[in-house]
Amino acid sequence: MLSTQLMKLAEQNEWKTNNHEESVFGTYNGYLFTAFEGKGFKTFITPLAGINEEGLEAILTFLKKNQRALNLRNYEVSDNFLCVRQHEGLFKLSPDKMEYLLAQISGLLSLYELPPDACVVCGESTRKKGLYFGFYCHLHPECLEQEPVDFTGTTFSDNQIERMADNSQAESVAAPEDDDQQPDELAADVTEFPEAVTDEPAILVEEPEADAADAADAADAADAADPRS
The per-residue DSSP string of 198-211 comes to GGSSEEEE--PPPP
Taking residues 148-176, what's their average pLDDT? 52
- Tell me if 167 sits within 8 A of 85, measured CB to CB: no
Dihedral sign for Cα atoms in the order 7, 8, 10, 14: positive
Q: Report whether pLDDT(94) > 90.
A: yes
Residue type, 6: L
The domain defined by 4-214 carries CATH number 3.30.1460.10: yes
Give kind and range of the element (H or E) at residue 28: strand 23-28
Structural domain spans, the chain: 4-214
Residue type, 70: L
pLDDT band at 26 (very low <50, low <70, confident <90, very high): very high
pTM, entire model: 0.70
- Between these two residues, 212 and 220, which has the higher pLDDT value? 220
Of 8, 12, 25, 31, residue with least CA distance to 214: 31
Q: Report whether pLDDT(195) > 50.
A: no
Taking residues 174-187, what's their average pLDDT? 30
